[in-house]
Structure 1
Amino acid sequence: MKDLMILARDYSPAKEKSGLSLSAVKSFVVGEKEDKFAADFGRYEKVMSFMHSLTDPGNGHISRRKTRSRLDTTTAVSKHFKELHGAPLESFVSELAEAMGSIKTLKKMALFWCTVVMELRNIWSEGKHIPGIPTDEIPNLNTCLLHQQLQVINCCVSRKRRRAIATASLDSVLKQADDNAGVSRPSKDILSESPVMYARDNSGKFVLRLGADKRFENTTLLDTGEPVYTPVMQEWPLLTEDIIKETEELVLRTGSVGAGCSQLLSDMQAFKAANPGCILEDFVRWHSPPDWTETYDDGKDVTVGDNSPSRGHLSTRMQKEGNLWLELWKTAKPIPAVRQSPLYYEDSSVEGILNGLENISPSSLFEQLFLSLLSSGCAIVEGRVSGNEFLYKMFKECKDYIVLVCQSKSWVEKANDICQVYETMVVTALNPNKVMRIMNAPSTDQTPTKEELSNFWKTSSKNHKNNTSPQSPTVFSKKPSKPILC
């Protein structure tokens, strides 16, 4: 990273200490036009392939590379990115790292990164998912922060789509209700055609169900006997590791638990809207079954069951004076989730992430990309050597060293050693038969010396670097001559 920064035209130690950000580097690329991108990066095959995958709306996957392993691929891959805090194999971040690693100057790296962020903005504004990232999974805290943030963006896209569907459904129900306006009691035809729309409240009047999703098993409301419906609810905020840390610090500093109360109140309001005539006991039976006990006619308490012939009772904690659930239930109004004040603002959250990516420091970005490459590389090498007990043992030793060093706070100072150990892994995977012949050579005068083995690694590595095969698993095209410093 330091070698790359020296290539910047206005590099100085003072700027390095103050933390050069990519927003500052953007001055290098002001005035660059879109057509010039192809001119500048046309010879970078990985870059052009990556950008094509990113901008092609019909491309659902970034990578087509597959690992060949006798191990459980999913388990092996997840293990590596968890240990190194990188990114999954064949993910957007891993492919981005390979593309970035093929560029030789800081100026072009900055231009490439700014273009990637610009395309991410376009993808978000068009309501599309980022390829190579799960479309609707909460952030995986075992991955690097960049991967987590991209997961948030995809989740927000999925949530906005679901909210649009829920809003359209609610509007449809209200339109049908307007068509039946003035009718004090819905006809049997209306009830038979739209049984979810209406429910009798405590007074026996038919009231619209709003925001109902699906029927909850065979459970009925205790007071009215109407079916219980699960409501469409607001989803929990999406938390990445940096937001979790900030939240924990806020809780420790202020003792606030407001977020949990807001979610509970939102669920209560949605439940009331979907189940006219419900009471707190109905909500508890659905939301927190352990806090409700059914009582049969013989007076014995049993676990929660459907269609119980008699009422039960709340748990002791729910019956305590001043119970939070009871207080919130009293204030909750029947409001469907799509009409409530949002608990989580997708637009502002994604905008904050994209702004952060524009201003990310090179050291932070390159660290995450470097660790993602290491975790992907380990997964690929393991798939190639897993069938050979001796080579697999060598791989384990190399991988354990990489993990140990990368988990230390001063791992950057040993980046050169990490690259050399990784190169050894690559050579072992690419030339397993030759490695076995050298390592198993008889103890004679012909036994290779340490220097000869070292020359073998270097020669094999050099031959591999000159190999342009797309299946080449290494991206360290040039090993630094001395330890890399930030």
Structure 2
Amino acid sequence: MTTEFSDQLAFDNDLDVRRAAKELHVSKSCSEHEKPASTPVTEDEGVFEIRDFSNVSDFERWSHQISLAAKRWGAALQAAESSDDVLQMRECFEQGNFQYELLFQLVPLAETKKEDRLGLHAFPTRAHRLQRWFGVRHFVIISINKHNIDVDSARTLLGAAAIAVSGAKLPLPLSCFVPVEGGRKRVLGEALQGNRTIYSTDLQNTVQPCLEHLAGLADFFQKKVQAGADKKHTMMVGARFTYSADHFELWQQRFREKFSVEAHEHMADPVESLKLHCLWPAFPFGAFVDDAHYSELDPRTAPYWKLRVLRRDSSAPLTQRLRALLSFRREACTIRSAEHSIQMHAPRTAMGSLTAAIQESLESILLPTDGEMQMMVEACMESSVVPTAESPPPALRGLKGGRCGGRLVRIAELSATMRCFKGSVMLWCNVLARMRTQWDALEAPGSVAPPTARISARGTRTEFFDASMCLAQQKMELLQCSVAACRTRADPDADAGADAEKTELETEGRGSMRPPSLAAPPLLTEDVLLQRDTAAASLTAAEVAELDGREMRSDMAAFRAANPGAALTDFLQWRQNVEGLSLKFPEDWLQSLWNEPPCWSKLFEPEREAEMALHYLESIEGTQLLLQLFRVLLRSTLEDLSAHIAATGGGPAYIRMLRDRVISAAVCAFSWRGNQKMASEEVDVEATLMGEVADFPEEEYLQGVLAALEVLESSMRLAASLRAKLGGQAEGLLEELLTEGEADVTADDQREVIEMLFDSSRHLARDEIHSSVPLAIFDTLPLAKEFVLQLQPAAGEQKCMRRLYAEVREDHTRLAVVRELAFW
């Protein structure tokens, strides 16, 4: 066959043989006769070492440097013999005005694959192009940084590399390659191991009809390696047809319904394209007919189908919201009080007035308009402080946040859309102004009461807010409880009428005791609790007990009023058995209280508590406000993603692993206790508060959390997109597609769905160019045809390095030939 390909490759091979022999002869003659006297020669080793470079050629310099690098690579191989991962090493050296780079690589061979047979490894998907073209696994690439190498220079450099590597005594045969003009079109390669193996490839921007099918390629290969009349070798063939789908508009609406994010309705599909590989591995030539007139290589009946997904580089909108909040950290440090920061301050000097005017003009560009701010405030007020009393998942209790779907979460979401932190502060203060108006008018609070719980080990009826909520959320819930208490307008003695329905207590020798009508218990947020516990650390036992003296006196008075003849032991027995409280107070102190005249007290003062809650919210510092908003939004995001995973039946194990990794990283970042779990209902509030950090964690931990969240979000979006495209058949493929980027299609149902998807994609593409003849995907030419032809060793031969790789596309053809020649 006399084609442009065959002429070019034949010329390259003959020139390689003559040049390599000449270079080898020159190098040996130089080493034996023309070496300087200072160069030692060791006959046992058979390798000379050049120490004086004053009279040596560039060829010998290259050979010396490459030989040293190859020896270091051999030592690295011996140290990592048992590794199953791809091993790489990069070396650089300078010669003249150029910097040379050597990239060594070894791809371990899986146990299920055989070197002497073509299998699925003949078409590795994400392997290096040299592995795909020539089937090599152990190779080194020699290149020049920021420079392209012409053909003549590449041949000289390749000869030096081949000789240097052959003398390095590596444990595995190493093939050398030099890219020509960047390496995308041509690559030259060589290996010297007993015989000489030549690697050559070329790219033609035209497609020759005689090389479009297997029969023509086989004819070219047999003539190229001179195996036409040789019947002792069997030619084994592997083939892969690749089809592409990149139009999915019909599935876009279904994708949004399955995975939607508010304010990001026009998200791009995370799937850029899908590739379908139809493979025929390891069949002898002649088993299938494939020529210019007829082909038995039907993609529908290919033994193997492999589906590959190519992702689009798109941002994760949920993660971007959190990154937007983090960008306000420097600005937040300048705000000492939320309310004070938005007040107008009259400048005292003319220069101050000019500066204030300029700053106000700049801020007006970044801040939302009055109408936009009003709409945001209304959106926040439409959300209840406590939309639901459900607790967050146990794994997320260590990450303090707000109520899912609540007002604080809404404020955090809108703050992430601001262009400066002052806009977030203005939104915060406007919402608080509306809440203060509701407090002054005693407007009805939300329909869901904030859940509170007592800690029995403390021995008091004091109620604490949910310890998994941040302090701002607790203050808002305290304000709602205060409004509800004021609306009842009840006496101090009748604040807790529900307690009258409690079970009577049977006492020894005294019969049954009537349950008392107790005053409403106090409600404490975590900051007040911390102040009390800090003060108690320096007090005596009696003084610590006196901190709860009002409650004990009020409860004793109520119990004695309901049971006039009761004794202290009856009161303590009722408190322990009915109320479930521990008896941690000193007995002498309790006896002294019992002997005092009855004294009723109002334990919860709503007016005082409401003003304290509003004062904290209005005077919060900028850093604390931003920190709590960030944690609220982070936990809300994780709750939403966890709910979506649960709604899909748990999803693939890979996504559940990513979710657990994000939660663990977030809890560790925001708590010095690390991966502390707060699954118990009766949580040690002091330990919880002390475990909460008062400032943002280090940048390394924050970026680690956001990086893990971005991976989780992108994987979930990809899974939702694949489910929308493949329907119920996606579940069997999701795990591999998410982890490996490709999956083996083994079921007939999966093949049918994939074929329909690719047909629809082709129809959509045809509609764009107004074609009136839409064909099915398998009735058209594939995106690429790939063939691997290899001669198998004959009887008595250990190996037979004769291989051809061919890639045929619509606009180009690539051929890569491997030939083994006698050394002399």
**Normalised TM-score (structure 1):** 0.59
Contact 2:550 2:601 in 1 (8 A): no
Q: What's the CA shift for 1:2?
A: 7.6
Call closer, same or farther: CA 1:89–1:132 in 2, change over 3 Å.
Answer: farther
Amino acid at match of 1:26: I
Alpha-carbon contact 1:92-1:133 (below 8 Å) kept: no
Residues 1:2 and 1:140: Cα distance change in structure 2 (over 3 Å)? closer
Three-state SS of the structure 2 residue aligned to 1:324 is: helix
The whole-number CA distance in structure 1 between the counterparts of 2:473 and 2:494 is 32
Q: SS in structure 1 opposite 2:465?
A: coil
Alignment of structure 1 residues 311-390 onto 2, 5 Å? 323-333=588-598, 340-385=600-645, 386-390=650-654
Secondary structure of the structure 2 residue equivalent to 1:246 = helix
Correspondence 1:144 to 2:467: no
Task: Give the counterpart of 1:112 among 427, 430, 438.
Answer: 427
1:439 to 739, 759, 771: 739
- Counterpart-to-counterpart distance in 1, 2:428 and 2:557: 44
Quote the residue 1:245 is aligned against: 530
Corresponding residue number in structure 1 for 2:551: 263
- 2:421 aligned with 1:102: no
Matches within 5 A, 1:175-324: 213-214=500-501, 216-217=503-504, 219=506, 228-255=513-540, 256-257=543-544, 258-289=546-577, 323-324=588-589
Task: In structure 2, give the amino acid aligned to 1:439.
Answer: T
Instruction: Identify the match of residue 22 of structure 1 among 332, 338, 349.
Output: 338
Q: Cα distance, 1:382 vs. partner?
A: 2.0
The verdict on how the C-alpha distance between 1:254 and 1:169 changes in structure 2, with shifts beyond 3 A counting, is closer
Q: 1:418 & 1:101 partners in 2: Cα distance?
A: 17
How far the C-alpha of 1:234 sits from its partner, in A, is 2.4
Once the 2 structures are TM-superposed, how far is the Cα of residue 372 of structure 1 from its aligned partner? 1.2
Aligned to 1:419: 706
How far is 1:3 from its partner? 4.7
Question: Once the two structures are superposed, what CA deviation does each residue of 1:228-278 show, in whole Å capped at 9, x if it has no partner?
Answer: 322221233322221122111111123322123332221111122233344
- The answer to whether the 8 Å contact 2:471/2:526 transfers is yes
Partner in structure 1 of residue 483 of structure 2: 157
Fraction of identical pairs, as percent: 20
| C-alpha spacing 1:134/1:367, structure 2 compared with 1 (3 Å) | farther
What amino acid is the match of 1:280? L
Q: Verify the 8 A CA contact 1:212 1:229 in the aligned structure 2.
A: no
Report the AA paired with residue 24 of structure 1.
H
The Cα of 1:363 is off from its aligned counterpart by 0.8
Q: Is the 8 A contact 1:232 1:270 kept in 2?
A: yes
Q: Offset at 1:169?
A: 9.9
CA contact (8 A) 2:399 2:635 kept: yes
Structure 1, unpaired ranges of 5+: 9-14, 31-37, 64-72, 171-209, 291-316, 445-486
CA gap of 1:267–1:211, structure 2 versus 1, over 3 A, is farther
- Cα contact 1:135–1:155 (8 A) shared by 2: yes
Aligned AA for 2:524? L
Give deviations 1:258-310, integer Å, cap 9, x for gaps: 123332221111122233344435434433459xxxxxxxxxxxxxxxxxxxx
1:305 alignment partner in structure 2: none
- CA 1:243 to 1:347, structure 2 compared with 1: closer, same or farther past 3 Å? same
- Could you say which structure has the greater relative contact order, defined with CA pairs below 8 angstroms and 6 or more residues apart? 1
Cα deviation, 1:414-455, whole Å, max 9, x if unaligned, reads 4444334323322222221558536333599xxxxxxxxxxx
Residues 120-139 of structure 1: CA distance to partner in whole angstroms, max 9, x if unpaired? 22233333465497435231
Question: In 2 relative to 1, CA 27–120 (structure 1 residues): closer, same or farther, beyond 3 Å?
Answer: same
Q: Is the 8 A contact 2:338 2:618 kept in 1?
A: yes
Aligned-partner SS, 2:631:
helix
Distance 1:85 1:345, change over 3 A: same
Give the deviation of 1:351 after TM superposition.
0.9
| Structure with higher strand content | 2
One-letter identity of the residue aligned with 2:340: A
Checking the alignment, whether the CA contact within 8 Å between 1:81 and 1:88 is kept in structure 2 is: no
Judge which range, 143-152 or 434-443, deviates more: 434-443
Given that 2:329 and 2:626 are in contact with CA atoms closer than 8 Å, whether structure 1 keeps it comes out as no
Q: Please state how far the C-alpha of 1:140 moved relative to its aligned partner.
A: 1.2
Maintained 8 Å contact 1:94/1:373: yes
Tell me the distance in 2 between the aligned counterparts of 1:217 and 1:20: 54
Going from structure 1 to structure 2, the CA distance change for 1:26 and 1:236 (only over 3 Å counts) comes to same
Counterpart amino acid of residue 47 in structure 1 = M
Would you tell me which structure has more helix in proportion to its own residues?
Answer: 1
Q: Distance in 2 between matches of 1:80 and 1:327?
A: 46
Contact 1:87 1:372 in 2 (8 A): yes
Structure 2 distance, partners of 1:134, 1:105, is 34
Structure 1 residue aligned with 2:130: none
Q: Measured at CA, do residues 235 and 29 of structure 1 come closer, stay the same or move farther in structure 2, by a change above 3 Å?
A: farther
Specify whether residues 369 and 342 from structure 1 end up closer, same or farther in structure 2 by C-alpha distance, changes over 3 A only: same
Kept after mapping to 1: 8 A contact 2:550/2:603: yes
Partner of 2:665: 401
Of 366, 369, 375, the residue aligned with 1:40 is: 369
Runs (5+) with no aligned partner, structure 2: 1-324, 347-366, 453-463, 579-583, 673-692, 723-733, 745-824
Q: Sort the Cα spacing of 1:5 and 1:20 in 2 relative to 1 into closer, same or farther, 3 A.
A: farther
Residues 359-381 of structure 1: CA distance to partner in whole angstroms, max 9, x if unpaired? 10111011111111111111221
Change over 3 Å in CA distance of 1:133–1:83 after alignment to 2: farther
Q: Give the whole-Å Cα distance in 2 for the aligned partners of 1:325 and 1:5.
A: 51
Take 2:593 and 2:431, find their aligned partners in 1: how far apart are those partners?
46
2:519/2:554 contact within 8 Å kept: yes
CA spacing shift, 1:416–1:282, aligned 2, 3 Å: closer
Residues 22 and 359 in structure 1, CA contact (< 8 A), matched pair in contact too: yes
Q: 1:429 aligns with which of 716, 729, 739?
A: 716
Cα distance, 1:280–1:271 mapped onto 2, change above 3 Å: same
The match for 1:121 is: 436
